Amino acid sequence: MSVQFSSSAPRRRRGFTLVELLVVVGIIALLMSILLPALNKARENARQVKCANNMRQIWMACLMYANENKDKLPIPPRVENFSSSILAPGIAIMMDPNGNIGGIYDYNQGTLWPYISKSIQARQDVFNCPTDLDAFRPVSRGTINYTASYQRNFTYSWNALVRGQDADTTTWLKPTGIRLASIVMPGQKITLVEEQYPNDGLAFLSGSNDVDDQPTNRHLKRGNQGFADGHVEAIFPEDIGFNTNEPNDSSYINIQKRELNCNLFFHP
């Protein structure tokens, strides 16, 4: 009986060729080009939901305030409404004095804060959209100010009509405020605004073409807007009479849509 031994050496494993590597790299690049937009869209959708939740919490705080103050809503601040001024009672948030441009909320003083949180950080969190935080944050007053010496520290403002009448238009320190019940068709009226470049707590939306006060389009060409009945919608600006897909383009205006959605006292 004879025993046979194999004299063959182990076979070497063949590596990838350059062409095969290039094919794999090309496939990975193609998959990334397909998946990244979808991932970015999913991330922005999540941010939009967080932003909408912020706005709901703010408006619920406004409703709680009104419930304890004879149906009167808290009064949004103008640029001039500093915490050191002698103001009418009911100012929702004081402005931190920074010249005549505005841009900073005082997170320590204001009638709304007890209905939001005791925590300064929590107050800041609820008044800032996560998408807005992820970008340079100019303010707009007359023109967009890209060189302000301070960082805007909030995203949301109120429809200016929530402020009521100003008894003193020289100092702007004596607003009257409004009652919640005075808002007609509350399910259709925007009271809380996600602005593009806010400079204070007011957005003049009805009957105005003020470039300072433009609803944003930062959520995939939409912006969150809060309504008097408490719901929040992500809305294309043109659907409410604006065009902020070009933020400073005032060539598009639809007064009828603005009145229907932004004039709190208008009934068609």
On the question of pLDDT at 219 being above 60, the answer is: yes
**Mean pLDDT in residue range 140-144:** 75
Q: Is the dihedral of CA 180, 183, 187, 191 positive or negative?
A: negative
CA distance 132 to 46: 13
The mean pLDDT of the chain is 86
The band of 149, judged by pLDDT with boundaries at 50, 70 and 90, is: low
The band of 126, judged by pLDDT with boundaries at 50, 70 and 90, is: very high
pLDDT for the residue numbered 264: 97
pLDDT for the residue numbered 106: 92
The band of 7, judged by pLDDT with boundaries at 50, 70 and 90, is: low
pLDDT for the residue numbered 252: 67
Tell me which residue has tokens 């807005």.
Answer: 132
pLDDT digits (tens, 9 = 90+) for 238-263: 899 987 666 555 556 788 999 999 99
pLDDT digits (tens, 9 = 90+) for 193-202: 999 989 999 9
β pairing state of 232-235 and 202-203: unpaired
Burial of 121 (0-12, 13-18, 19+ CB in 10 A): exposed
| H or E segment to which residue 226 belongs | strand 223-227
**Mean pLDDT in residue range 206-234:** 90
